[in-house]
Structures are given as structure tokens and as C-alpha cells.
Structure 1
């Protein structure tokens, strides 16, 4: 079975159970959240032998994260448990009905977390080195690079190591709060070292100063493929050879956008590992994202294998007529 390894921080997540200001909340929902672990769970759901490499604290938050990953079929043998540093935490404050234009907000408590202490020493862990050596895919993100100089050094070590048949993907995953006061040109350098780069068009403006496809490809000439996620419009792949593929996004009754980008990454990357063409990879990414967009939380269940195959193999007209609501893929008549 093909093996994938995702490297990065996952935090405990707290959010008010009811849509009230944080200071009025009497109950908080306890969940977990992390871009790389979201991708790991998505890849595992798609039939890949998937592992997560990180660090957590010796606390209830860390234990909950490990159990969550294991429950979703993700291996955690490459996770170190720190006896002194805590697991990172963030509080997700939902948008208020009284201020519908305000949007949700996030409070991070991750400085000095166990995961921020990942570094080149992490690679000397025999469990981690074995996982990375045997992986068909290693997935990284720009979030990790911003956590600490040690984390940046870890990514540089992985990205500059001999491939030996492995593919390294890099999702830019722009986070404004993490890069405040830091040199964001680091992201361009790291991305150019990867084989596959994923970036949202909205992120590209912040991270690279442009949303122009040609400019982005010029700034990152070395990756085999650059995938640009154009929000709810389409997704575009730009091969190093110069070929371009664009697939329109599905019509979706959106419940919550959180996690959709990670689901898209899992869909696209799994398609790559299964040997699909660019169009099919992009479609697979859209399907996975749509499943997440129609649920509360960071992940939504995929259609069964037969339905998924039918969706991916559909004609362009049928694809354009699909509407996704409550996790159901229906074809609109007259579309």
C-alpha cells in the first residue's frame, strides 16, 4: 500500500457551543484542528497508509489529538510526546447573528508549544526517519515554517533531501497572524523546493504579492506542478512542461468553509498517487472539498467508491450540473 506522511502541528480547539460572545459562553466544544493532520485523515479515508509526524504535550489535549488521529486510521508512531512543553491551543469564536458581516475569529495559544520545538533533531528519531524513508508522499505546509526557526530548519532539511522516488507536496496555507513581522519570502523559497505546490488564489496575493498565474509559475519554476485553488470558481494546475488544466468547482450549499482547502489537497494528492491525470486529480480535490463544505467541522465523509468513480468519470456537462447539499451529490435537471 502506498504510504503518505504529513508533518505539522495540530492543536486542541475550543469553540462556544452556542453562538454567543466568548465572554458569555458557558459551554465550549472540545475538538482538534490542524491543516496537515486534516490532510492525513483525508488521505487515510481515501485508502492510503497515512502517518502524521509532530509533537504534542504530555496533557489531555495531546492525548485527545492522538486518539482522534488513530480513530481516523492515521498512524502516530512518529509523534513525540513532550514532558514539559504544552500542546498548542486555539479558540474559534463563531460569527455573531448580531454582526453577520463580522465573520468568525480565532485566538491562538501556540507560542512555545510542543510542536514548535520540532527541528532537525526530529529526523534522528528512528520512527520518523523510517516513515519518511518509506513514504511515497511527504506533505508539508507553510504553517510549520512560521512556528519557529527550528521548525523552518526541519522543513528545509526535508525539502533538500534526496527524493529517492518520493514526492514532496507543499501547501502554502497562509496565516496572517503567524507571518506578522516575519520574512514571508521564505514561503517562496520553500515552495520552489517542493515537487507539488498548492496555493489558494486569495493566499497568493498575501504570500507572493500576485495572483497572476504566469507570475506565480515564474516565481516557482522548479516544482513539477503548481495547483491554484481559485475559491469557489475553479482549480488550475500548471505543469512545469507548460500544460494547463482548469476544472470548475462544483455547486455547493456551503455550511462552513473550514477545512475545505485541506480536503481539496487530500483529494488532489491521493489522485496523484493513484496515477490519475490532472483533470481527474482536480475533480477529486473538488469532490473532497465539497463534502467538507456541507458539514460543520474540518472533514466530511466521501461518497462510496462506486458513486465517487461515477462522479469523477462524468462528462463535463454532467459535472457542471452536479449540486452538493447535505453531503449528497445530485444532478440538477435543466442545468
Structure 2
């Protein structure tokens, strides 16, 4: 009888799987109202696709899973993501439903009104009945979505349809073989008008890493401040609360298990950078990609937050749909600066391609990690 040798499980061949919607994005050729803009440039938009592209550009093995139409726009989405190095082998083509599209002006914020002092943004979506809205547990196999070290989801997908909500619920449920699950709340007012945003909180509580902006939490759940948000979302091992110009704070579970006392959290903060903003689009997705990238490399939480800020700065300082991330060595050097040097950084257009930037002394001593 032949001898049977036990083998260890094969490690995932993908670092991060990003599952969600990708659309063709039309960006205006000049500032102004959509009614006045004469022409548009075509690109690709979608929170999860943005994260996948940023991770691939940063040297990670990233896969995007989604559905697009069997149309020219679907061809463009798949080709554009593949050009960034994203694995698109699991993308499904729908012969009956179209690829979603949207048009936007120069500004875009998840929670925005003209009265809040921010530039008013127009965003017009044509996504109802799209191929992406047909995603469901029956069409997306769990083993495919769970095939990476990390699964990244956002709160946009469950708002698209009942099938999408069921899919995200299934993928965030505990079970053998579940990878680390990352969830960006990404609250969009228009998507949740006919649904309760409390669903978002329930999904976030099932995940391991959660990203949420203070403005999102207040708009969706009436919560103010990081402590209140953490009290409402005590289960994630890491909760990252983004505070805009105030920086970001991570609440890190101090002990094992998923139901520990949040009062035992380790709280780690990283101030935001001074950035000469070109376009405020995609910074949240870039921040998540930077944080996850640093986590995949085993870096400490404060350094992950700083890499999030650096990747967000790359997005803010370009008007392209997807920003070129800084070279890894350049980003590592900036992330290791002491608090004073970090606070003096000012990043503008082109900074990712010209290290060292802004006269920063490369011999500035590191600040000890928390």
C-alpha cells in the first residue's frame, strides 16, 4: 500500500481580493456644471476596483471580482484593470445587463452639501439594472471570493440590490477558510435613501478591519467622534476612523477574540499630511489601499496609517482617475520620519515621482513605534 504524505494547505496565490462594482467614469474636460461641460474623458471608477489597482501598482497580487456587461464599456473596464496588473480572471460578463456608467464634476464627496462649505459636486449615475447589481451568492462562489489573504469589501455593494446584500452578508459570515475581511463603510447617501443605513453597521461588525469617516458615521448613524463610533462597532480587530484634515485614528483590539471590551483597545493616531489638492476624488480608496499594503508587509499600525495618508496624498495630487503610488522605498522613508518632519511635509503634484521630496532630510531620526 503506498505511503500517503500529508501536505500543508497551499497558501493563497492572491494577496487581496476586491469584490464590488466597477463602472466607466466620465470626467469633464473643464470645470463647470454638467449641463455646461462640452466633453468628457473616459476612465474607470469604483471603490473596490480603485483599491485593487492601487495595490497592484504597489506590487501586491490583487484580484478584482465583479460583473460587467458584454459590451464595449465592459471591455474597457476589464482592459483598464488588467493594464494596472490586476487579476481579472474571475470577472463575469453579463450578456443581458449593461456596464454601469457615471458622470461627475471635479469634486466628489461621500457626504456633501453645498451648505457645508465644500465645493458642490454633481455626480450622475446610470447603474440601475447593471450587470454589477445582479451579483448574488448564486453567481459569485464563496471559495472564489475567499481565495486571497484578504477580502476587501465596501458599503456600496450591499446597497445595489437584495442579491448584492445577500452576497456581502454571506462573505462576511464566519466560516472555515474565511480570510481577513476588510470593509470600507463608504456611505453614499443616494444609495441608502430607500434602505436603512443601520444595515451598514451590522455588516461592519462582522469584519476584521473597518474604515469609516467621522462625517460618514454622523450622517449614517448619528454618531459623533471616534469613541462613539468604536462603542457602536466593538467587534472589528482594527477600526480606522478617518478625520479628514485631522488625520486618522485606529482602535486596535488589545486581546484575543472578537467580543472583547473596547475599553482595552490600543488607540493609535497619525496626523494628516499637508497636501496641495488637485482633485478630491479617490482619496478614501487610496487610504484603504495604503493601510492594507502596509499590513500585508507586517508593518505596525501607526506606519500603516501613515502609508494610508501617503497613498491618499498620491490620489489628491493628481486629476487622473487612478494615482501613481510612490515607490515603496520612498514611501517607507517618509513613513519613518519623526513627528516633526512628518508635520513639515507638504506634498504637491508630481511628488510620487521625485524623491526625496520638499527638502526632507533623509537622515531625520525615526520616531519610535508605539
TM-score, normalised with respect to structure 2:
0.84
Residue pair 1:260, 1:298 contacting (<8 A) in 2 also: no
**How far apart are the structure 1 equivalents of 2:344 and 2:325?**
19
Q: Distance in 2 between matches of 1:185 and 1:75?
A: 33
- SS of structure 2 residue aligned to 1:15: strand
Task: Give 2:323's match in structure 1, choosing from 300, 320, 327.
Answer: 300
Q: Could you tell me how far 1:134 is from its partner in structure 2?
A: 2.9
2:206 is the alignment partner of 1:193? yes
Please report how far the alpha carbon of residue 301 of structure 1 lies from its aligned counterpart in structure 2 after TM superposition. 1.6
The offset of 1:102, in angstroms, is 5.1
8 Å CA contact retained: 1:41, 1:74: yes
Q: 1:302 Cα deviation (Å)?
A: 2.1
2:358 aligned partner: 330
**Structure 1 residues 254, 94: closer, same or farther in 2, change over 3 A?**
closer
Inter-partner Cα distance in structure 2 for 1:180 and 1:12? 23
Report the more deviating stretch, 159-168 or 203-212: 159-168
Equivalent residue in structure 2 for 1:137, among 139, 150, 166: 150
Q: Is the 8 A contact 2:54 2:323 kept in 1?
A: no
1:315 and 2:327 are equivalent in the alignment: no
**What runs of 5+ residues in structure 1 fail to find an aligned partner?**
none
Shift of residue 161, structure 1, vs aligned partner: 4.0
Gaps of 5+ in 2: 1-12, 108-113, 255-264, 352-356, 362-370
Does the residue aligned with 2:183 lie in a helix, a strand or coil?
A: strand
Question: Is this contact kept in 2: 1:136–1:166, CA < 8 A?
Answer: yes
User: Is 1:301–1:327's contact at 8 Å kept on the other side of the alignment?
Assistant: no
Between the aligned partners of 1:152 and 1:225, the Cα distance in structure 2 is 23
The correspondence of residues 206-225 of structure 1 with structure 2, limited to 5 A, is: 206-225=219-238
Please list the CA deviations of residues 34-55 of structure 1 after superposition, one character each: whole Å capped at 9, or x if unmatched. 0000000111112111000000
- Larger Rg, first or second structure (1 or 2): 2
1:211 Cα offset (Å)? 2.3
Higher share of residues assigned helix: 1
Cα separation, 1, equivalents of 2:212 and 2:145: 23
Aligned length: 326
Q: How does 1:238-249 map to 2 (within 5 A)?
A: 238-241=251-254, 242-249=265-272
Would you say 1:114 and 2:127 are equivalent positions?
no
Q: Secondary structure at the match of 1:31?
A: strand
Is the Cα contact below 8 Å between 2:100 and 2:130 reproduced in 1?
yes
| Residue equivalent to 2:193 | 180
Q: CA 1:65 to 1:316, structure 2 compared with 1: closer, same or farther past 3 Å?
A: same
- Does residue 36 (structure 1) correspond to residue 64 (structure 2)? The answer is no
Q: Given that residues 258 and 293 in structure 1 are in contact (C-alpha distance below 8 angstroms), is that contact kept between their aligned partners in structure 2? A: yes
Which residue of the other structure, out of 58, 69, 81, is the alignment partner of 2:70? 58
Q: Distance in 1 between matches of 2:176 and 2:218?
A: 30
- Check the 8 A contact 1:284/1:312 in 2, yes or no: yes
* Cα deviations by residue, 1:134-179 (Å, 9 ceiling, x for unpaired): 3100000000010000000000010004263620000000101000
Q: Which one of the candidate residues 137, 146, 162 is aligned to 1:149?
A: 162
| Misfit runs of 4+, over 4 Å | 99-102
Contact 1:260 1:299 in 2 (8 A): no
Q: CA deviation at 1:303?
A: 2.2
Instruction: State the partner residue of 2:35.
Output: 23
Equivalent residue, structure 1, for 2:175: 162
Mapped contact 2:146–2:178 kept (Cα < 8 A): no
> CA distance change for structure 1 residues 136 and 159 in 2, over 3 Å: closer, same or farther?
same
**Residues in 1 aligned to 2:81 and 2:324: alpha-carbon distance in whole angstroms:** 15
Q: 1:163 to 1:274 in 2, by over 3 A?
A: farther
1:327, distance to aligned residue in structure 2 (A):
3.0
Q: Which moved more, 1:53-62 or 1:302-311?
A: 302-311
Separation of aligned partners in 2, 1:217 and 1:60:
44
Structure 1 position 204 matched with structure 2 position 217? yes
Q: Write the distance in 2 (CA, Å) between the matches of 1:81 and 1:203.
A: 33
Provide the C-alpha distance between the structure 1 equivalents of 2:348 and 2:140, rounded to a whole number of angstroms. Answer: 43
Give the aligned CA root-mean-square deviation in angstroms: 1.9
